[in-house]
Amino acid sequence: MTRLLLPLEHDPRPAELHAEDALLHALKRLPRRVQQVFLLNRLDQQGFAAIAERLDLPLISIERHMNQALQTARAPGDALASIAGQWYVRLQSPQVTASERIDFRRWLDADPEHLRAFHETELRWRSLLAPARQLGHDGWYRQGRAALSLGGCSIAVGLGVAALVALGLLT
């Protein structure tokens, strides 16, 4: 009787590709606007101020969206990684103050784990490049407000039709 050396469900792809697939899946689950802000920054290398102006959003929204995108790559429940990610995004903002930079330096120097977490955040940021290229391969994110998903529009149209039917205007 012969035995199989590999289980039937064995996937020959390296673990690195599985990690990229997981990151891509996590990015796809983000709201469309968050994806758009992330891709404009990551792929087109636009700064926060340029993205804010292009999409007519406040800078704080851009920071929040970028933080949300970066957090997709961290382990759930890792509070230190979350804080490091927030610092990483804040330091890229044109609104960061000298006082905040000093606070960051104090935080970084307070514990060797902080430096490790920040370094891992930088590595996470780099790991998002390949999935970002896949997500934005067709350039949809460059289309301004039209880039928002049609799912929300479909829901709005459906609710509008339902309201008209309920009011008896459409029979």
Q: What is the pTM of this model?
A: 0.73
Q: Among residues 1, 93, 17, 110, which one has the least CA distance to residue 52?
A: 93
Give the sign of the dihedral formed by CA 90, CA 96, CA 101, CA 107: negative
As a whole number of angstroms, the distance between CA 44 and CA 60 comes to 20
Residue 131: the pLDDT is 94
pLDDT over 90 percentage in the chain: 65
What does the CA dihedral 92, 94, 98, 99 come to, rounded to 10 degrees? -80
CA nearest to 23, candidates 149, 145, 123 = 123
- Per residue of the chain (171 residues), what is the pLDDT tens digit? 555 555 555 555 555 556 788 889 999 999 999 999 999 999 999 999 999 999 999 999 999 999 999 998 888 888 999 999 999 999 999 999 999 999 999 999 999 999 999 999 999 999 999 999 999 999 999 987 644 444 445 556 666 666 666 677 655
Contact 128, 39 (CB under 8 A): no
Domain residue ranges in the chain: 15-141
Residue 126: left if φ>0, alpha if ψ -120 to 50, beta else—which one?
alpha
